[in-house]
Amino acid sequence: MTTQTEVSTAATVTSETSFGGIPMMGMQKVAMINGLPGFEDLHNFVLAELEGYAPFCAFQSVEQSSISMLVINARLLSVWTGIDIPPRELAILGLEESQTAEQFVILKIDHGSQEFTANIKAPIVFNPATGVANQVILDNANLSVEHSMKNELT
């Protein structure tokens, strides 16, 4: 029995999302226990691969179809080496160790330079077994909310 909460069809969320008609695959339901900062009233999202855009994924609100963000698995980033999620944050999600947590960072494109940046200071930490997640603000002054993806994507 799989413990992952997967959404069976893409049709429910692709039609009106900001990602337009890009098909989404391997969707997982994500329940944000504290909402998403900036969108506190939204608690239910799906995390989905964007076909043809791997390794980028969509973090798509179920409650408001036009609210979505581009995310990437934090472990794919070289900068992520050695970054640990505090045990108390893992405990909130019912996790015992960092290894079992899925970690995603939200991406944005800088308005002027069109450069991709990642918010590595506040990853979305996700318990794949229960589907609950939280955006954890890491107490580390070296981590930026606008980490350049320039050297991460080459």
Q: How far is the CB of 69 from another protein (least distance, A)?
A: 5
Q: Does residue 119 interact with another protein by CB under 8 A?
A: yes
- The per-residue b/e assignment along 134-149, b for 16 or more CB within 10 angstroms, e otherwise, is bbbebeeeebeeebeb
Per CB under 8 A, the segment of 61-69, 84-92, 93-101, 126-134 that binds another protein is 61-69
Integer CA distances (angstroms), 55 to 6, 39, 73, 104, in order:
19, 25, 8, 11
> Whole-angstrom Cα distance, residue 145 to residue 105?
10
* Pick 1 or 141: Cβ nearer another protein: 141
Stretch that binds another protein, among 2-10, 34-42, 76-84, 87-95 (CB under 8 A): 34-42
Nearer Cβ to another protein (103/121): 121
- Nearer to another protein (CB atom), residue 13 or residue 107: 107
Distance of CA 62 to the CA centre of its chain: 14
Query: What is the nearest approach in angstroms of another protein to the Cβ of residue 77?
Result: 16
Please pick, from the candidates 11, 33, 109, 153, the single residue that binds another protein as defined by CB under 8 A.
109
147: contact with another protein by CB under 8 A: no
146 binds another protein (CB under 8 A): yes
User: What gap in Å lies between CA 37 and CA 40, rounded to an integer?
Assistant: 5
The Cα–Cα gap between 80 and 47 comes to 20
